[in-house]
Structure 1
């Protein structure tokens, strides 16, 4: 299945935007989770520091831990933490396939007191005859008779405390200096249990005034899932993130579809116009509504269409002009031959000379067309060599001076250069260039006028500038850019009467451009037409 450009562009925008939305949702969820966990840990640390400082002060007065019974422990925590304690009911423990042993809840259990949380502890080691250690404080004073680990409850799974939201009480216990249990929640976890239940324990030393360790505060901390309030809040935030991500994806889908359509509308216009152009409708244009890359592409397309239209018009005009130029001398030759055949004209030297002149004109026209064709395909022969361009100008000057005088025209050479100026030229083609220019001035300059040739170096001293100017008549300003087009005439009837076919200046342009130069027409200061040629000089080694 092939996708169009619209579908590809839409899918690319949708995929990238969706990927960004998902990445943002995941990063926001992770950042919130990490920040919330850090907040809970900071709250725990602040409360733990308050309890530790109070215990140090109490120990400094009591000198031992015997004052801390389970009831006194909870009263102490109520005072320090400001938490109203509610004992956990059996059905609030998890997991507990079976309720805890009744003997842990009896009134004769010395560890149990009304208002205190039920003891939570694991089974003792298998060795039931293990030595019992009597806990003592650092001053070797006996501690109160706190309960020891309960007997094992075979066939039951150990259960963990259900932590109250942001509460330290169910997760806090006090140990002696040698880390023997004193009071609190007597939960002892192995490393596997800590890892499996995503729990960790933080131990904070309690020091006396002499900075000796007199006990330890141990706090259990779990991940967010161990707290119902935090879990609920986290779940709500996660759902919110997913909802926002879904909304972003939906908005992205609609936006991507809209943008894809808007961006591809100019492309579709250009595609349609290109099809019309390939069918020969060169007047086709694309409407430009922007200045971006697509707008530039539309401008380039319009320029291409204009160029093709102009070339097609020139081609048709070229064919018409060539047909007309060839038909004129052929018609004259046909008329002369038919007149001789009909006996209207006698076949003598004058008639033969007239026929010869027409044949020469026709041959010159064909030669010029052939030369232009060779120049277009780059097959025109050029034999460049080191030539003194001033010497060539002197040669053409001496050739045309007599011809111009016969037509009552003056030829003047006004050059500012005295030393030789060398260029890499084809001498024969350069002489043809000057010959065509002077022939053009000879045909179209009124009698009594003059033609001036001047030369000078450019400001960069890298090119030579050759200027040819004549006296009136001149050409209209709008005709100046078209003088070098093939078969172009300002006054077609007058040009044909003077023998011009409109190819001389076109050949001159090709010769100059073949030598990496430039040629342009302008209004001469003498009142006629001026031609300016600029050619590169030969670089000195």
Structure 2
């Protein structure tokens, strides 16, 4: 993907565009304003016509015969200079038509230093952003289709087996079907949150709460989910009793539940997941979720917060797939950002495992 303000790597330059660049003379590109260019254009036209009229009068005395020639040459000079001035505008018109048809690869030649050149740079930046957005939308559609197809196919196969009598509708089969249904529900919830993120339509319902109460509630939910999946994990809450915070409990519950679920899935059997809280240096609170899993490689500590990114490390301590959607951490970071805080994977130091740090300010910004 191209960075903002830079031409995309796949920007297309056609042979006709190359030929046009070759014959498109732009002698006034070094001038920094359109007013200066117009002044130079008028001066050049008047100078050419004046020289020709003066030459005709000096050499044969018939200035009126050279007058039409002077006018034609002045128009020619004006045409050459004006064409170079308006070339970026014509290129932007052609590029806009191509973009309306879905082609975001065309870029405008921006050698001019005046207002038109600045417009050309802005146009190229816009085209690069639109190309990146279109690519991201295609990736989201492809990833969502893949994520939905997997649990739907598994659920359909289980139900067909029960209908056909291949599998008895016993407790184990029903629990497997329920797990796929819960995965679908989780994915749809994430997608709804993602749509709110894109639309900027999410708000906060802030209240002053005791942080330990919120953490203990989320830990209880995560412990129940771990037991339901047959995992044995020890949970430790190390949050001061008197630590208060202003936050949206529903959003922070969503963030912490995602962090604790990930920590539980990646911890070894019988491992420990710790939630450590303290006050921030400049007010606010800091919460660390620490596990005993394989850890997060340094080069992936930012990538794991991207949409549909699961990382390339081991799936979990047992070597099994975690069944994640790759959306939870992206939405968790977004929810932390709504509070004016941050969510990051930090260096665990000498110990093994991963540490994810949630930082929240004392007074979140008003949405």
TM range (shorter): 0.5 to 0.7
Residue 504, structure 1, aligned to residue 328, structure 2: yes
Residue 335, structure 1, aligned to residue 157, structure 2: yes
The equivalent of 2:311 in structure 1 is: 490
Using structure 2 for the length normalisation, give the TM-score: 0.65
| Higher mean C-alpha displacement, 337-346 vs 519-528 | 519-528
Provide closer, same or farther for how the CA distance between residues 343 and 453 of structure 1 changes in structure 2, counting only shifts above 3 A: closer
| 1:435 to partner: Cα distance | 0.6
Provide closer, same or farther for how the CA distance between residues 285 and 412 of structure 1 changes in structure 2, counting only shifts above 3 A: farther
Structure 2 counterparts to residues 429-440 of structure 1, below 5 A: 429-440=251-262
Instruction: Name the CA distance, whole Å, in 1 between partners of 2:35 and 2:110.
Output: 23
- Tell me the SS of whatever aligns to 1:483: helix
Instruction: Name the CA distance, whole Å, in 2 between partners of 1:515 and 1:419.
Output: 21
The equivalent of 1:466 in structure 2 is: 287
Residue 421, structure 1, aligned to residue 210, structure 2: no
1:6-44 residue CA offsets vs partner (Å, 9 max, x unmatched): 9xx6998259966xx9xxxxxxxxxxxxxxxxxxxxxxx
The equivalent of 1:373 in structure 2 is: 195
Kindly name which structure, 1 or 2, has the bigger radius of gyration based on alpha carbons: 1
1:24-72 residue CA offsets vs partner (Å, 9 max, x unmatched): xxxxxxxxxxxxxxxxxxxxxxxxxxxxxxxxxxxxxxxxxxxxxxxxx
Provide closer, same or farther for how the CA distance between residues 397 and 365 of structure 1 changes in structure 2, counting only shifts above 3 A: closer
Whether contact under 8 Å (1:414, 1:455) holds in the other structure is yes
- Structure of greater relative contact order (alpha carbons < 8 Å, 6+ residues apart): 2
1:446-469 residue CA offsets vs partner (Å, 9 max, x unmatched): 44654443444444x244333334
Whether contact under 8 Å (2:294, 2:314) holds in the other structure is no
Unaligned runs of 5+ in 1: 1-5, 22-249
The equivalent of 1:513 in structure 2 is: 337
Instruction: Name the CA distance, whole Å, in 2 between partners of 1:314 and 1:264.
Output: 34
| 1:436 to partner: Cα distance | 0.7
Unaligned runs of 5+ in 2: 1-25, 27-33, 47-71
Structure 2 counterparts to residues 241-390 of structure 1, below 5 A: 260-289=82-111, 296-380=118-202, 382-390=204-212
Using structure 1 for the length normalisation, give the TM-score: 0.46
1:373-394 residue CA offsets vs partner (Å, 9 max, x unmatched): 3443344464222223344234
1:399-447 residue CA offsets vs partner (Å, 9 max, x unmatched): 54687798455545556x6743331x22122112111111111112344
Residue 533, structure 1, aligned to residue 354, structure 2: no
Provide closer, same or farther for how the CA distance between residues 528 and 258 of structure 1 changes in structure 2, counting only shifts above 3 A: farther
Which structure shows the higher helix fraction?
Answer: 2
Instruction: Name the CA distance, whole Å, in 2 between partners of 1:506 and 1:321.
Output: 14
The equivalent of 1:187 in structure 2 is: none
Provide closer, same or farther for how the CA distance between residues 392 and 338 of structure 1 changes in structure 2, counting only shifts above 3 A: closer
| 1:298 to partner: Cα distance | 3.9
- Tell me the SS of whatever aligns to 2:302: helix
Whether contact under 8 Å (2:210, 2:242) holds in the other structure is no
